[in-house]
Structures are given as C-alpha cells and as structure tokens.
Structure 1
Amino acid sequence: METHRAHCLILPYPVQGHINPMLQFAKRLQHEGVKVTFATTKFLFETVDEVSASISVETISDGYDDGANGIVQKIYLPRFQKVGSETLTELVLKLQDSGRPVDCIIYDAFLPWCLDVGKDLGVRAGVFFTQSCAVNNIYYHVHKGLLKLPLEATEVDIPGLPPLLASDLPSFVSNPGPYPATSQLVVHDQMEKFEEADWIFFNTFYRLEEKVIHWMAKILPVKTIGPTIPSMYLEKRLEDDKQYGLNLFKPMTNACMSWLNERSINSVVYVSFGSLAKLEVKQMEELAWGLRASSYHFLWVVRESESKKLPKDFVKETFGKGLIISWGPQLDVLAHKSIGCFMTHCGWNSTLEALSLGVPMIAMPQWTDQSTNAKFVKDIWKMGIKAQPDENGIDRRDVIGQCISIVMEGEIGQEIRKNAKKWKDLARQALEEGGSSDENTKDFVSKLIQS
C-alpha cells in the first residue's frame, strides 16, 4: 500500500511575475515528495504552450475565459473572486472524488478569498507573497494604521527597515491615487486576513532581509522559501529544472544568445523593464540616446506593444552596437559572461534573478514595489546604483550614460561587482545549506505529511 503523500494545490495570480515564483516553489515541493497540482485560469492555460512538463495542471475560471484584456481592475477583481471561489471549490471537490484529496491550498496573496474557500472545505491554506518581506512589511503597517496615509513626513521609520524617504516607498503608499483598485488590493485586501493562514511564505531568503524577517517572525508564522530561481542556475540539485516553465511572451532565444556569444566578457548592458512597465515616449527616447552614446554594447528588451515609442530609425542606426528584442530568456542572458550590468525597473523577480546570478544593477524603478527594491539594491545590498530622474520624472540620457560608466568602470564599479558576487554566493548557500529555503520547505513538508 502506498504511503500517503501530502497534496498541495497551488494557485497564482495570473500574471507572469506571480506565476513563475509559485511554479518554482511547486517544483521544489514536488522534489521533496509532495504531490502538487498547479491551478491556473482557463484562458491562461489555453494561451501558453505548456506550464511545466513535470507538474500536474488543472484550471479554474476568473470569469473571463476568453481573456480579460481591457477589463479594469475594479471590475476584474470582484468577478474573479466570485467565479474563482466557485470554480476553485469545484476543483478541490473534483480532486477529492478522484482519490486525490487536497491537504493544503497555497494561494497568491493577491487572491485572499482562497483562504475562505479553504476554511469552508476544511482544507488548510498557506499564503504566498511574491514581493519582498520589506515591501509587505510596509503594506502591513499601512493596513494596520501604523503608517498613516497620505504621508505627512518626508521620512518614515518602520520596524525592521532602514529609514526610508517617501520616494523609497511603494507607489501605492507614496502616491495611491492613480490606481485605486490595485492600491486597495495590495495595501489592504491581501493584508485583510492573511494572519489567519496556516503558513505565510515569502519569496526571499533570510540573509537577504535578515532584520525585517526577524521582526516579522516574532508575530507571524513566516517562512522564507526563496530565491525561487530554477535550480540549474543555483545549486543544481534539480537536474531537469532549467527554466521557469512558463512564458506569456515568446522569447527570441536563438537570436539573443547568438549575438551575446559574439561579445566579449562584461561588455554588454542588458536593459529590460519586465512584462508590465510602460515607459513614456520621452523616457524611451532618452534611454535610447543614452545607450547609443555609451561606450558599451546593449541588449534591450522592448515589448511589441512598446516598440512604437522607439526613435525613428534607431534600430537601423545602432545596428551592431545594440540588439533590440521583443522578449528574451532573461536567466540565460543574466548568466552570460558578456553581461556587465543590468538596467532594470527593479521588479522583485528581476531583482532576485540579478542578485542570484551576481549581476550589478542600474535601477530605474517605475511604480509599485520597485522604488523600495531599488533602495535596497543601492543602499543595503550595495550591488548597484539608482538613476536620478529630473523634476519631470525623466531619467535623462546623460544621467543614463553616467550610470553605465560608474557601474562598468572604476572603483565604485569594482566594489559593486564584489558585492554582487557575495550575494550570488549567499543565494546559492541559501539553497545548498538549508539556511533558509530548504530548511523551511522541508519543515513545511514534514508537518504537512505528519498531520
């Protein structure tokens, strides 16, 4: 008779930056002997070629099975809650009837209603935060009324965190007006009942955010399970784990890697602002001319929806010096010997990837958690610098050129590269030595199976 294997149902919020870290966690749980079912929306499942060959996949509905493109958050989120709750319940019952009862639902913090589904079905639940511990500590303090909005002071002091300027805070805290529905979701809704979850998972590792994790662990059952990077880029324990396993955009892998292979060591500036950020036309122009004027080659990811913002004839005029692609295999790029630095929006996934692979960063945060991540990159981890925008919020071409020179050359650049290597080693150790990820994962698995 087969020994009972704990069964986890894992449900991410259906965007690239939330799916990939939760999919990586699913792979590591499966490696530890847990049976995993990865749930995604019907539209997403039908849109991508494959989620992951090694993971069992099921679907629920967000109420928009033909796609939610153009649907605003204040309409999408309530609909997803209503239809998602019903179809998630149906999925758990279906798995139970087929002899695969679910022991635990691990849900994205952006889907707080999953906790209620779990309680109604008598299934334990763990909440997964895809952003840093520092950022969620800020949201926690706002939600609890410990940090009042609108902000009155130019500097704030939050337990576990360094002194922060208002400009270092997530945009939903420093300027919540432009995106009220999303602000409500990240600052309040995801924090509403998360303390009632059986487990609280963070995609980070202890040494990276030691002070804030130590503070939060005093009051909450926090588990750090990161960095959620495919194993073959870090400790190489999961031999078939070479990629995240899902891309909402088709990467131009061959063209990208062939071009990088022809470049010398540390000679390329890699530029990418992730899957969601939208730069103003003026910012795209300044960035383009800053890259063109620099002494280095550049590889720039410009999504198809953003390509019309490029200056006229820019691609033709920079042929040979630069390569512009619509999407790329970011891990392979960051791991390539030719990459000297990463100009990034500082989304948490991109930040963790660069840190785990030892790549210096030039931070150009756009919105959400990115300003806080950039603060840590520059002042706490000291593995990059931040471009300073002008009074109109634009990073000018001369500033961009100066940033590239600072990171790629001279004493400051050497110090940044030394720190980047240190964090790369610590990220690997977090997985190799059980300093955070494996220890917490195994502890979770052990308790899940015993109960």
Structure 2
Amino acid sequence: MEEVARTHQWRHQVLIFAFPFGSHPSCLLSLVRRLADEAPAVKFSFFNTSTSNAAIFNDCRRNHNVFPYSVGDGLPEEYVRKQGVPAEPAALFLKAAAGNFRMAVAFAVETAAVEVRGVVSDAFLWFAGEIAAEMKVPWVPVWVPGLRSLVVHLHTDLFRRKLADTVDDKEKVIDFLPRFEAIRKVDLQEGVVHGDLESPFANMLRKMEIHLPKASAVVINSFKEAEPEMFDILTPMLQKLLTIAPLNITPSTSIIADEHGCLEWLDKQKPMSVAYICFGTFLALPPNELSALTEALVESRVHFLWSFRGNPKKSFSKDFLEVVDVQGKLVPWAPQTRVLAHSSVRVFIAHCGWNSVLEAIMAGVPMICRPFVGDNALNARTMEFQWKAGLGLQDGIFTKDEVMKAMNSIFDPYKGAEISRNLKTLKDLALDATRPEGSSTKNFNSLVELLTK
C-alpha cells in the first residue's frame, strides 16, 4: 500500500490532520472516506498518531486512495497512560502538534511528489490553516461537535464580558444570544468562562476562534434544520458554513462486529424494555454515582445492557453482579449504532457527547443525560429543554431517585410517547437533509467540488 501511495499517478492529493482523542478521528475518517469514494483519482493522506490510526483503520473497510501517515503524539518515552479523561496526553499532543504535523507532512509530500490541492483538519488544529496558506490551497476545518457549541466558542469574548460579574452565580441564564434561554453559565464548556482559562486546551480553542473565520469552508457535524438559529448566528462569521451530518453514523446492518453477543441478548428481551448504558471510551462514574445507578436499576427491575470500561469485579458489589446474571448484561464494548437500532432498546443512559446525541436521534431512542466534560452539559440542556427529546438530572449527577424518576418518565406511556415524537421530528429533519436535494447532500457536494475538482 505504501508503494501505491508513492508511485500511483494521482491527480492531486488532499492532506488530512486528525485530533487523536475521543470520537474526533473516526468522525473525520468517515467524512474522508465519503470524499474518497467520490474522487477515486485523488489521494487522501490521513495524518494522525500511530495509536489512533491503528484503532480507527481496524474496521475491515478500505479505500484504495486513503493512506494513513503517523504523526508524533508528543508523549515522553515510557509514558504510562492513565484511565479517565486524557487531559495530560491531549495537552502534550497539542504542545508538540504544530511541529510534528509539519515534519510529517514535509516528509510525506517530498517522498510522494503529488501536488497538494487542499488541507482538511479537525477544527481544533488551527495551525492547519497556516500550513494551507503557505501552500496556497483551501483549508477546511471540521467541527465534530454541534452548532451550538461552536457558537459558544466563537463568542468567547462576549461570554466573558457579559458574565464577568456573575462569578458565584452558576445558574445565571444566558439571555444575550437567541435560543440560549435554557442554557446556564454552568452548562458552558470548560475554558470559556470557568476552569483553567490558560490551559493548553483553552489556548488552543482561542487560537481556533481567531483562525476559523479565515477558512475556505467550515464543516460542522450537524444538520442546520435542527438548530436553524445557531446556523444563522454562525453564517455571517465564517466564509462558508457546511453542515454535513451525521458524519459518524454507520447503518444498523453494518459490518461492525458484535463480538460480545449484545444483539443476541437483545433478541431475547421484550420490545422497548431495555436500558442501554454507555459513557464513552474514557469516562468513568464516581463510586457514589455508580452505586446510585446500580441501585436504581435493581429497584426498577429494568433490564439493561451496559458497555462498561473497567473491571466489573472491582467496580460492582457481589450482589449487583448476581443481579446482572438475571436482569442485564455487562460487556467491555458494544456496537452502539446497532444496539440503539434494536427494537428492545427503550432508553439510552449516556454522557451526552455529540455523536451519542446524533446516534440517539437517528435511532429514535430517548436519552438520560449525565454530562461529564466539554459540550456534554450544553448538549444535555439542548436535548431536554430545546428539543424535549431527552431528560437531564438534578445537578447533573446520578442519585437513585433521579435515575428512577427519569426512567419512569421515559417508560410512561404518555410522557415517553411525547419524547419519542420529538425524536422522530428530529430524525425526519436529519433524513430530509440527507436526501438528494437536502442541505447535507448539497453541502457535501460543495465540499467535493472545493477539494477534488
């Protein structure tokens, strides 16, 4: 494959820069694969850390014109990764990223000798815009979260100015932007008005805010019909805004393996009877919340499928593990889109990351949201109060009573049906956007034209 990348007579190449954490690289790869299918004579050079590339390219799908290249991860030799949010690895990666990407790109471009006609990057990697400008080619940053979160980041100065006198008022409502009346100060992403405003991540976001308006086009993993007001706020701030969603949704009949027998277990459950639980790849509940969630599951007698990252014997009580044998199933990983599409799944208990939100919408499964980091709280408030398509928790944490209250509402024939109707409305908007004349389809075609013609 390396020989083909070097010697094939490609029309030109497009450079891709990935941010190697969470769902970011897989979302970007999904978009690139779609582009590669539309432009078989164009080479797509995908720059990412070797660890991340090994994970996302290991899915049995291959494009003959998409080639992974390794970029340094910035970690010291013999660095030991810890469980939990990868704040330190991300900070180290960002510190070295600009130099590492430049070095990797220079080597790959020199050895392949294929003209570069565009740079696509995760929006976090602001320096990609400088590299594209030096090459005199279009820069297309991809914003993996939703429209509302980007509105917040591009108005950081406004938020800091308007909320400067509300240090102790976490519940302060955002009343100075349209359709933010359900959003509170506490719901904003870390690095905007709270948290370490000088952290590597916060500084990266500030530089992104400065550079995005210079981009040839900004791709957002959303459909504008879901949040038209957010789209209208962003449009005059950017040269071109392309909503293309969902980027990372695979069909429920996809080739993703079910190595732990999740679907077989779901086949044995009653329709709309199961709670599916997953908090992403690196998030873990505090012990008190873990106990509260397990107590609520036991008392409610709701059957559950739990994609659990960790050692169950160390994390759960012996009594709960005995309940699992009768009432549930614990697995280290589940094919999430296929699980959510299963007729037995009624509720999705999750951290409310943007991709999980999109997957819940496309499957029509209500969410119970326990936000952790980043845009999670913003998404949770949008789901509960703007779209009325999911439920949050008091103070954003699990207690037994809060979990049972939320599950009772979703399983209630009247309240649950209303949430399901709202989800169906959102799903219909998403499907309309992907039809031949839909907004996502038109925007994707514009992107193909910009990068491959």
Matches of 2:123 and 2:262, distance apart in 1: 34
Aligned to 2:242: 223
User: Which residue identity lines up with residue 170 of structure 1 in the other structure?
Assistant: Q
Amino acid at match of 2:363: L
- Superposed displacement of residue 59, structure 1: 2.5
Say whether residues 1:372 and 2:386 are aligned partners.
Answer: no
Partner of 1:112: 126
CA contact (8 A) 2:74 2:92 kept: no
- Where do residues 56-67 of structure 1 align in structure 2 (5 Å cutoff)? 56-64=67-75
Q: 1:324, 1:189 → 2: CA distance? A: 42
TM-score if structure 2 supplies the norm length? 0.86
- Superposition pairs for residues 8-87 of structure 1, below 5 Å? 8-33=14-39, 35=42, 36-46=44-54, 50=58, 52-54=61-63, 55-64=66-75, 69=81, 71-87=88-104
Q: Which residue of 1 aligns with 2:210?
A: 192
Q: Aligned in 2, Cα 1:111/1:423: closer, same or farther, shift over 3 Å? A: same
Change in 2 beyond 3 A, CA 1:307/1:213? farther
- Take 1:331 and 1:424, find their aligned partners in 2: how far apart are those partners? 14
Q: Indicate how the Cα distance of structure 1 residues 111 and 438 shifts in structure 2: closer, same or farther if over 3 A, else same.
A: same
- Which one is further off, 312-321 or 173-182? 173-182
* Residues 146 and 48 of structure 1, relative CA distance in 2, 3 Å threshold: closer
CA contact (8 A) 1:270 1:339 kept: yes
Contact 1:5 1:33 in 2 (8 A): no
Post-superposition offset of 1:366 = 1.6
Is 1:278 the counterpart of 2:281? The answer is: no
Moved more, 170-179 or 307-316: 170-179
Deviation at 1:254, TM superposition (A): 3.8
| 8 A Cα contact 2:47 2:101, kept in partner | no
CA 1:380–1:317 in structure 2 vs 1: closer, same or farther (change >3 Å)? same
| Structure 2 equivalent of residue 404 of structure 1 | 407
Structure 1 letter corresponding to 2:93: Y
Choose which of 76, 99, 123 in structure 1 pairs with 2:137: 123
Distance 1:331 1:411, change over 3 A: same
In the alignment, what sits opposite 2:426?
A: 423
What CA distance in whole angstroms lies between the structure 1 residues aligned with 2:177 and 2:284? 33
For these two proteins, the number of residue pairs brought into alignment is 429
Q: Which residue of 2 aligns with 1:169?
A: 188
CA displacement at 1:388 relative to structure 2: 1.4
CA gap of 1:134–1:82, structure 2 versus 1, over 3 A, is same
8 Å CA contact 1:302–1:325 kept in 2: the answer is: yes
Distance across 2 between alignment mates of 1:48 and 1:447 = 26
SS at 1:320's partner residue? helix
Cα pair distance change 1:6/1:88, threshold 3 Å? closer
- What root-mean-square deviation, in Å, do the aligned CA atoms of Structure 1 and Structure 2 show? 2.8
Gaps of 5+ in 2: 1-7, 83-87
d(CA) in 1 for partners of 2:343 and 2:11?
42
Q: Separation in 2 of the partners of 1:105 and 1:315?
A: 50
Say which SS state the counterpart of residue 319 (structure 1) adopts: helix
Q: Secondary structure at the match of 1:395?
A: coil
Cα 1:307/1:135, change in 2 over 3 Å: farther
Superposition deviation, residue 67 in structure 1: 8.0
1:226–1:436 CA contact under 8 A, matched in 2: no
Q: Distance in 2 between matches of 1:174 and 1:412?
A: 35
Structure 2 partner of 1:137: 151
Give distance in 2, aligned partners of 1:231 and 1:224.
18
> Any unmatched runs of 5+ in structure 1?
234-240, 246-250
CA contact (8 A) 2:14 2:451 kept: no
Contact 2:289 2:398 in 1 (8 A): yes
1:213 to 219, 226, 231: 231
**Which stretch has the larger CA shift, 40-49 or 317-326?**
40-49
Report SS of the residue matched to 1:62: coil
Q: What's the CA shift for 1:223?
A: 0.9
Q: CA deviation at 1:44?
A: 2.8
Aligned in 2, Cα 1:440/1:158: closer, same or farther, shift over 3 Å? farther
Question: Quick check: 1:90 aligned with 2:101?
Answer: no
Please list the CA deviations of residues 158-204 of structure 1 after superposition, one character each: whole Å capped at 9, or x if unmatched: 43432221133224335314993333333x13223121111111000
Change (3 A) 1:46 1:253: closer
Q: Distance in 1 between matches of 2:76 and 2:139?
A: 26
TM-score normalised by length of structure 1: 0.87
Matched to 1:159, the amino acid is: L
1:290 corresponds in structure 2 to 296
SS for the counterpart of 1:382 is: coil
Amino acid at match of 1:38: F
Q: Secondary structure at the match of 2:325?
A: coil
Shift of 1:313: 4.0
Q: Which amino acid aligns with 1:403?
A: A
The answer as to whether partners of 1:11 and 1:38 remain within 8 angstroms in 2 is yes
State the 1:72 CA deviation.
4.7
- Identity, % of aligned pairs? 25
Mapped to 2, the partners of 1:413 and 1:301 lie a distance apart of 24
Q: Per-residue CA shift, 1:272-309, capped at 9, x if unaligned?
A: 11113221111111111111111321111210268733
